[in-house]
């Protein structure tokens, strides 16, 4: 059982809930991803920042973001399930795919949000979640995104603020949407989400790393 799953089970038991909702699994059809919806002048960005539940909210709040989708990327297994990814053997990492209107919000804006919502100093881990499925990464879709991402990373390194910046910048491969119960988890299950986020120490660590630049 993954650390995340164990924490959620603990929450349910602590609240004395007698039943656990049974969620239907959504198809991991990659054609349903945001990448197939760019015909209206929209663009796609893909970021891995640990638990994908926690990476949807900061982007959903941005004007110009059309949608966010939690999923898996960077591995070698087609149509992976959450259980497979959580086992750590697929090579995939949890990520969010963002469909946005570049006329309203820029890729640079998305990078600004990304960095202050992750801990870039640790490898194969984010906060309480460990394993390569929680590694951080920027998955670029074109040369411009690559250049902007690499420049931003280098700028962080040059500041000397962190002892190391291990977040990967790599070409996007096939993005597989996660099961439906993971989508908009923070809205569907606000109590469980808030407890998980608090117990994981995410906000405290982000404030420690980024100070005033991080906003809860």
Q: In a 3-state reduction of DSSP, which class is residue 60?
A: helix
Number of structural domains in the chain: 1
**Going residue by residue through the chain (216 aa), what tens digit of pLDDT does each one get?**
455 554 544 444 444 433 333 333 343 444 445 655 566 899 999 999 999 999 999 999 999 999 999 999 999 999 999 999 999 999 999 999 999 999 999 999 999 999 999 999 999 999 999 999 999 999 999 999 999 999 999 999 999 999 999 999 999 999 999 999 999 999 999 999 999 999 999 999 999 999 977 665
pLDDT, position 183? 97
Query: Which residues in 5-53 belong to E strands, given as ranges?
Result: 43-49
> Does residue 121 contact residue 165 with C-beta atoms inside 8 Å?
yes
Q: Are strands 136-140 and 168-171 parallel, antiparallel or unpaired?
A: parallel
Q: Which two tokens stand for residue 26?
A: 């959504």
Calpha distance 58→117 (Å, rounded): 8
What CATH number is attached to the domain comprising 191? 3.30.1060.10
Residues designated catalytic: 51
**Domain encompassing residue 14:** 3-213
pLDDT, position 210? 94
pLDDT, position 19? 34
Helices (H) then strands (E): counts for the chain: 8, 8
Query: Which residues in 28-92 belong to E strands, given as ranges?
Result: 43-49, 65-73
Most distant CA pair in the chain: distance in Å? 53
pLDDT, position 212? 79
Calpha distance 9→131 (Å, rounded): 20
CA angle 136, 174, 110 (to 5 degrees): 45
């Amino acid at each position: 059982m993954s650390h995340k799953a164990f924490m959620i089970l603990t929450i349910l038991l602590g609240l004395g809930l007698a039943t656990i909702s049974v969620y239907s699994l959504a198809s991991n059809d990659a054609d349903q991803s945001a990448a197939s919806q760019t015909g209206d002048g929209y663009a796609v960005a893909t970021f891995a920042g640990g638990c994908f539940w926690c990476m949807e909210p900061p982007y959903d709040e941005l004007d110009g973001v059309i949608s966010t989708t939690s999923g898996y990327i960077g591995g070698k297994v087609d149509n992976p399930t959450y259980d497979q990814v959580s086992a750590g053997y697929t090579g995939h990492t949890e990520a969010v795919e963002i469909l946005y209107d570049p006329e309203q919000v820029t890729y640079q804006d998305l990078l600004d949000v990304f960095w202050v919502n992750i801990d870039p100093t640790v490898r194969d881990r984010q906060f309480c979640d460990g394993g390569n499925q929680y590694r951080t990464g920027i998955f670029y879709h074109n040369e411009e995104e690559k250049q902007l991402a690499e420049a931003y990373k280098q700028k962080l390194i040059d500041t000397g603020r962190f002892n190391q910046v291990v977040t990967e910048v790599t070409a996007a491969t096939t993005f597989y949407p996660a099961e439906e119960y993971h989508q908009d988890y923070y809205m569907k299950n606000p109590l469980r989400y808030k407890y998980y986020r608090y117990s994981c120490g995410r906000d405290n660590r982000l404030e420690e790393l980024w100070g005033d630049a991080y906003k809860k």
